Structure 1
Amino acid sequence: MSGADAARADATAAGAEAEAALARAFAAAGVSGWLHAVDLDGGAEIGIEPDAPVVAASVFKLPVLVELCRQASAGTVALTQRVQLPAGSTPTDGGIGLSVMLDDVELSLRDLALLMMSISDNRATDVIMELLGLDAINATMRDHGFPGTVLLGDCACLFETMEQDLGMPYDDIAPEQYEARFAAIRAMRAVTATETNRTTPRETTRLLAALWRDELLDAAGSAEARRILGLQVWPHRLSAGFPDDRVRISAKTGTIAHLRSEAGVVEHPDGGRCAVAVFVASTTPAVRNPAADRAIGEAARIAVDHLRSIRGCS
């Protein structure tokens, strides 16, 4: 066997070992998993069903952010534009951020985007989407090579379909009723990839890569998107896999019923950069499922460690 053949064999074996480790991590947490990770500079990648359609949940807010920054760069909207939200005006479920505020609010568009991405504020998302237009968001995804990333509606639309499918608001289901209603929950359109906002793990990492390489937006638009993504507050999923505080995580989470996800860019202090997207489905309806949350971080670490090993990074 030649040296080149031996190297290819070693790479194949290492990839198979990493995929097996990913499968074990998902199985240990009692979840099914879909993943894609790519080295933004070296191009190496690894995936577990990376092209399968997956429920975007709040990861769909990433295309919304992209379209906001695109329209801002084009001069269609201004990020400093002020938006007034009178108390009680068209609330959106979500239990956080503007959804639960009781008084009048006035914010700039970029600060609404910060709430949308950093704490996954559903009301902020819907305000931005109404301004941008659903068709425009989908057109940008389609026209720039992301045909599997499709938005059917905003957050209010998702909650409406859940209420229609369950015969009651999802948030009205008491925790002790989850098991009895789990079959109905798993049948909801909102957790069925073909019937709700969707993407694929590979398209999600490609979208992130385009933002980090200034390939989809101009430099200013890309920088603004990266700034906002870097301000996310949740430490319990991707970040849990990278406890070194020098590692920068810029990401967006997604949660709906038994589905959890996070997609982002992991940047090491040596300059290495990897985009990674992890989507999992648990076999329990529990809202609090730390094992599933940790599995996202562990899977991301396994994938990123594998990609870094290819480049000789530790």
Structure 2
Amino acid sequence: MALGQSLHANLNRYLGTLPPAARVSLAVRSLADTTAFYQRADERLPSASLIKLPIMVEAMEAVRDGRLNPDEIYILQDSDKVGGSGVLQTYQHRSRIAYRDLITLMMTLSDNTATNILLRDLGMKAVNDRMRTLGLTQSQLNRMMMDTAAVARGVENYVTARELNGLLVQIYRGQVGTAPLCEQMLDILKRNEDTLTIPRLLPKTVAVAHKTGTLAYVRGDAGIVYARRPFVLSVLVQGLTTAEAERVIGELAAECFAVFNR
């Protein structure tokens, strides 16, 4: 059976076993050929921390353009600190941290405080403009992290699985910022400490460059899996508990890996 046929057969079979409540947005794409699979891939969904992927890209574009110096030191203020994921909220007032470390913490620990500091410097408009330039027409950054007042008004950030895949492909191919900056981004993504989703069932020796996201009503992951035939995979799951969604994402990644690692 051809690669594409195997992928479709595996994923359709697996998706057919899920409970009716599960809503899965899925985009899978080979990085070596045209093999791909899409289900609800263009559905615009609340992004959770997946929106930090295009924020990282804009930060690296700012580094390239000289608008952001990664070695510059930021002096953390108590007023910067927000809750949710991350460690900066536990740092002392006036702690010193380099911008390159803010970028890394935003991606590896999904640090919300680091994200908001970067967003204030970059500007939300710059991130949205960058997404449009790179072909992400449905994804949208509308609020800062942990802005509960905005959430209460129904203001949300959005992504689609297909567009996340497209952004990861551009990073993989060195098409954003510069090729060395893309390598830096991939290295950061490989250090993501949230391994409950795409890497969950994969061999520990297989590198995964990915960014996860979690809200009470959506669990997502978008990443590059360095199988024998590398592939990019973005999944957002709604309608299940967080633990169930994590299992589904891990099992979908394993189904894909079984095809692409032959």
Match of 1:290, as an amino acid?
Answer: A
Match of 2:219, as an amino acid?
Answer: R
**1:241–1:294 CA contact under 8 A, matched in 2:** no
Measure how far apart 1:143 and its partner are: 1.5
Residue aligned with 1:263, SS:
strand
**1:278–1:300 CA contact under 8 A, matched in 2:** no
Measure how far apart 1:14 and its partner are: 3.7
**Residues 25 and 79 (structure 1), Cα distance of their counterparts in 2 relative to 1, 3 Å cut:** farther
1:131-184: CA deviations, max 9, x gaps? Answer: 111111111110121111211121033x2233x35xxxxxxxxxxxxxxxxxxx
Residues 10-21 of structure 1: pairs in structure 2 closer than 5 A? 14-21=6-13
Deviates more, 1:99-108 or 1:206-215: 99-108
When the two structures are superposed, what TM-score results if normalisation uses the length of structure 1?
Answer: 0.77
When the two structures are superposed, what TM-score results if normalisation uses the length of structure 2?
Answer: 0.92
Given the alignment, which residue of 117, 132, 142 partners 1:152?
A: 142
1:106-137: CA deviations, max 9, x gaps? Answer: 11111011111111110000000111111111
**Residue 80 of structure 2 is aligned to residue 97 of structure 1:** no
**Residue 239 of structure 2 is aligned to residue 276 of structure 1:** no
Higher helix share: 1
**Residue 38 of structure 2 is aligned to residue 47 of structure 1:** yes
Match of 2:210, as an amino acid?
Answer: A
**1:50–1:200 CA contact under 8 A, matched in 2:** yes
**Residues 49 and 233 (structure 1), Cα distance of their counterparts in 2 relative to 1, 3 Å cut:** same
**Residue 193 of structure 2 is aligned to residue 204 of structure 1:** no
Residue aligned with 1:261, SS:
strand
**1:26–1:32 CA contact under 8 A, matched in 2:** no
Given the alignment, which residue of 176, 180, 191 partners 1:216?
A: 176
Residue aligned with 1:89, SS:
helix
- d(CA) in 2 for partners of 1:213 and 1:221? 11
**Residue 189 of structure 2 is aligned to residue 229 of structure 1:** yes
**1:25–1:298 CA contact under 8 A, matched in 2:** no
**Residues 99 and 22 (structure 1), Cα distance of their counterparts in 2 relative to 1, 3 Å cut:** farther
Measure how far apart 1:18 and its partner are: 2.6
Residue aligned with 2:113, SS:
helix
- d(CA) in 1 for partners of 2:226 and 2:4? 25
- d(CA) in 2 for partners of 1:126 and 1:12? 41
Residue aligned with 1:116, SS:
helix
Residue aligned with 1:275, SS:
strand
Given the alignment, which residue of 246, 256, 265 partners 2:205?
A: 246
Identity of aligned residues (%): 24
Measure how far apart 1:282 and its partner are: 2.7
Match of 2:131, as an amino acid?
Answer: M
Residues 1-314 of structure 1: pairs in structure 2 closer than 5 A? 14-24=6-16, 26-27=18-19, 31-86=22-77, 88-94=78-84, 96-157=86-147, 159-162=148-151, 164=152, 189=154, 195-242=155-202, 244-268=203-227, 270=228, 272-284=229-241, 289-306=242-259, 308=260, 313-314=261-262
Aligned length: 262
**1:212–1:222 CA contact under 8 A, matched in 2:** yes
- d(CA) in 1 for partners of 2:207 and 2:8? 27
- d(CA) in 1 for partners of 2:7 and 2:198? 21
Match of 1:161, as an amino acid?
Answer: A
Residue aligned with 2:146, SS:
helix
Structure 2 unmatched runs, 5+? none
Measure how far apart 1:298 and its partner are: 0.7
- d(CA) in 1 for partners of 2:168 and 2:85? 28
- d(CA) in 2 for partners of 1:130 and 1:38? 33
Residue aligned with 2:233, SS:
strand
- d(CA) in 2 for partners of 1:95 and 1:59? 13
Residue aligned with 1:246, SS:
coil
**2:165–2:234 CA contact under 8 A, matched in 1:** yes
- d(CA) in 2 for partners of 1:279 and 1:247? 22
Match of 1:231, as an amino acid?
Answer: R
1:195-241: CA deviations, max 9, x gaps? Answer: 52111101101100100001122112211211111111112111113
**2:143–2:150 CA contact under 8 A, matched in 1:** no
1:233-272: CA deviations, max 9, x gaps? Answer: 1121111131x1221011111011121001111002x3x2
Match of 1:210, as an amino acid?
Answer: Q
Measure how far apart 1:75 and its partner are: 1.3
